[in-house]
Amino acid sequence: MTKGELLYEGKAKQVFATDDPALLIQRFKDDATAFDGTKKSSISDKGVVNNAISSQLLALVDKGGVKTHFVRQIDDREMLIRSLDMFLVEVVMRNVAAGSICRRYGTEEGITFAEPILELFYKSDPHHDPLMNREHVIQFGLCTAPQLDEIETSARRVNEILSEFFTSIGITLVDFKLEFGIAGGEIMLGDEISPDTCRLWDSETGKKLDKDRFRFDLGDVEGAYQEMLARVTAGSDGA
C-alpha cells in the first residue's frame, strides 16, 4: 500500500490517498481543539492512543454486525480505511446526561436516561454544528429518509455493542458521536471512536477519562488517555 497525497486535514486527523482509489489512510494527530476550535493545544501521544483505541473499537463494532470503514491498523498513528462519501450529519447517542444536553435543557449531569437518546447535528463549523431533527436532515438533503433510518438503527446497535464492552472494563459510556458515510451504495460507520468522541467515566469513582479533561482543564489529560488505552486493550485481548 503506497501512501499518496494529503487529501484533507481536519482538527485531529489527516487523510491521505493510496494507490487504490477505494482506500485511504487516516492519520491521527496530537492536536486537540474544543469549542469550535477556539481552544487549541496538543495532547502528547493522543494520536497514538486514539489510533489504537479506534482500531480496536471499530473492529469490535464490525464484529457486532455494523459495517465500518476500518480495514486495518497500519502503524502507531495510521489506519487503512475505505473511502466513504460522508453524510454531513453527526449522530450523538446519550446514555447519561452530560455536556450540551445539560446546557441546553438544564438537565442534571449524571442522570441516566430510561432509554438512550439519539440526537442529530448538522456538521457545519460556520453554523456551530446545530442540533437538527429528522425533518431538517431529510429536507435539507443531508441524506434520504431510508438512509437516516439505517443510520439510526446502526447508531443504536453501536451503542449496545460499545456499552457492553465498556461495562466489561469498568467504564460507563456516557455519550458518543458517530459519523456515517456511503461507498458502493453501502452505508458504513466512518471517522473514529476514541476518548475525543466519547464521554467515558470510571464506573466506580466517576472519574472522567475523556476529552472533557482537556475541554474543562481538569488536569492529567495524558494520563486519562493512557488509562483508556490500557483498559481497552486489556478488554479487547480478553474478548
Choice from 15, 17, 23, 34 touching ligand ASP (CB under 6 A): 34
- Distance, in Å, from the CA atom of 232 to the CA atom of 235, rounded to the nearest integer, reads 5
Q: Which is nearer to ligand TMP, 109 or 186 (CB)?
A: 109
**Binding partner at 175 among ligand ASP, ligand TMP, none, C-beta below 5 to 8 Å by kind:** ligand TMP
- Distance, in Å, from the CA atom of 93 to the CA atom of 180, rounded to the nearest integer, reads 14
Write down the least CB distance from residue 89 to ligand ASP, Å: 16
Choice from 176, 180, 201, 225 touching ligand TMP (CB under 6 A): 176
Choice from 175, 188, 193, 228 touching ligand TMP (CB under 6 A): 175
Phi/psi region, residue 206 (left: phi>0; alpha: psi -120 to 50; beta: rest), is left
In the numeric block, the cell 437516516 is attached to: 148
Show contacts with ligand TMP in window 97-136 (CB under 6 A): 99-101
In the numeric block, the cell 482509489 is attached to: 21
C-alpha dist (Å) from residue 61 to 129, 131, 176: 25, 25, 14
Write down the least CB distance from residue 207 to ligand TMP, Å: 16
Residues 6 or more apart whose CB falls under 8 angstroms from that of 128 comprise: 36
Answer yes or no whether residue 11 interacts with ligand ASP by CB under 6 A.
yes
Instruction: Catalog residues that contact ligand ASP under the rule CB under 6 A.
Output: 11, 33-37, 211, 215
